[in-house]
Amino acid sequence: MAEDSDAEKTEDASPRKLEKAREEGDIPRSREVATFAVLMTAGAGLWITGGSLVGRLESALASGLTLDREQVYNPAVLLERITNDVGGVLLACLPLAFAIMLVALAAPMLVGGFNFSSKAFMPNFMKLNPISGIGNMVSTNSLIELLKAIAKTLVVGAVAWIVIRSETDAVLGLAVEPLGTSSGHLGDLLARTFLYIVGALGVIALIDGPYQIWHYNNKHKMTRQEMIQESKESDGNPQIKGKIRQMQRQMARNRMMQNVPTADVVVTNPTHYAVALKYTDGQAGAPRVVAKGVDEVAARIRELARENKVALLEAPALARALYKHTEIDDEIPETLYSAVAEVLAYVFQVRNYKAGGRYPDRPTRLAVPPEMDPLNPASQKKPDSTR
């Protein structure tokens, strides 16, 4: 059962998969929306420019049926007139043709947006596989496309039939009307029929556009296993990443341990915390934390300090505060300057004692602010926002 559920495509396509599909030229498209947009543009263009276009055609027709003596006996003059008439008609049709061409190029982008993919131009010999071709012919998508084609045929035929049936008397009357009057009536009849048919196709386009987007998203759904595999490929295998982080922590710990022998003092808890401090006399800046750790790491720091004769000082509150509020190579906080200064003074006095001086008193009451100690209740209190 678990294997069956994993094999089902229940997860929405990830952005990476959708982007890969776009790179391969696979995007949602709706032919119905594009067809409707082109037909509406053609109808609107004819409605706006129809008068001037018809006038130009009438002028060209009249000019073509009129011949004078010069044109009859001089073919060059006749050819020039024909060229001018044809050029005038083409020029009159140019705005409408340009508008239709522009909409024909832009309309497909209404669903799916603009996309250019060079991979779409690459030959795909899998499309020549007859087995795949037969499978596509009997697929659900092919059935839906067939139903759409039948629906369009029925809609267009039904609308045309209803319009013509309602205008039967007007259609029959065209035969007995004068040419000028019948031409106007015929134009009105064709315009109404065209608008009704395009309006019906607009309803189909409103349905087909969202359907194509839904079909595209449904086609690119993923199984849980595909989601996991993609996550591993993009973010890396969690086990490998964990191993890398572990190795990085180990390397950082090793570098930190190499700094312990150079420290001036190691402040301890005494068992749970250990923080190694170093102060370079004559250089600007406060003492720095060169190593810190808890439990096993703290024990290793203390061991290295003893092996390298680095001073150890038991100061629980200061050790906890330094561990909590500093990172490796950070300078100590200003609020701990006083306490650390006493510790370093003690360490330097011990060194002088070994050279023949007086043995100093171990500092026991270091000035550690209560809010700096993580075990002190004062550090858990939130600041009063009314002050």
Question: One digit per residue, pLDDT tens: the chain, 387 residues?
Answer: 444 444 577 788 888 888 888 877 788 888 888 988 998 888 888 777 777 777 777 787 777 777 777 766 777 877 888 888 888 888 888 888 898 899 998 888 888 877 776 666 666 656 666 665 566 566 777 788 888 888 888 888 888 888 778 878 877 787 777 766 776 677 777 777 888 888 888 888 888 888 888 888 888 888 888 887 777 766 656 666 677 777 777 777 778 888 888 888 888 887 788 999 888 776 667 888 888 888 888 888 888 888 888 888 888 888 888 888 888 888 888 888 888 888 888 888 887 776 666 677 778 778 788 888 787 776 665 444 333
Is residue 362 within 8 Å of 345, Cβ to Cβ? no
Rounded Cα distance between 168 and 165, Å, is 5
Rounded Cα distance between 325 and 156, Å, is 78
Between the alpha carbon of residue 300 and those of residues 172, 260, 261, the distances in Å are 108, 10, 12
* Terminal-residue alpha carbon distance, the chain: 62
Q: What does the pLDDT read at residue 101?
A: 92
Q: What does the pLDDT read at residue 294?
A: 87
Residues 6+ apart with CB under 8 A from 360: 345, 346, 349, 350, 353
- Kindly state the tokens that stand for 41: 């543009």
CB-CB neighbours of 77 under 10 Å: 13
Is residue 81 within 8 Å of 63, Cβ to Cβ? yes
Q: What share of the chain is helix, strand, coil (3-state, %, to 5)?
A: 70, 5, 25
Q: What does the pLDDT read at residue 376?
A: 72
Rounded Cα distance between 67 and 76, Å, is 13
Q: What does the pLDDT read at residue 4?
A: 42
* Residue 222: φ, ψ to 5°: -125, 155
Rounded Cα distance between 113 and 233, Å, is 28
Angle at 137 between CA 135 and CA 140, to 5 degrees: 85
Rounded Cα distance between 209 and 220, Å, is 17
User: At 75, is the secondary structure helix, strand, or coil?
Assistant: helix
pTM higher than 0.85: no
Which residue matches tokens 């039967």? 168
Is residue 228 within 8 Å of 15, Cβ to Cβ? no
Q: What does the pLDDT read at residue 119?
A: 64
Rounded Cα distance between 28 and 24, Å, is 12
Our measurement of the distance from residue 268's CA atom to the centroid of its chain's CA atoms, rounded to an integer in Å, reads: 51
Give, for 294, the enclosing helix (H) or strand (E). Answer: strand 288-294
Angle at 197 between CA 193 and CA 199, to 5 degrees: 115
**Which one, of 195, 148, 158, 160, lies nearest residue 36 by Cα?**
195
- Kindly state the tokens that stand for 64: 């073509």
Q: DSSP label at 358?
A: P
Q: What does the pLDDT read at residue 386?
A: 35
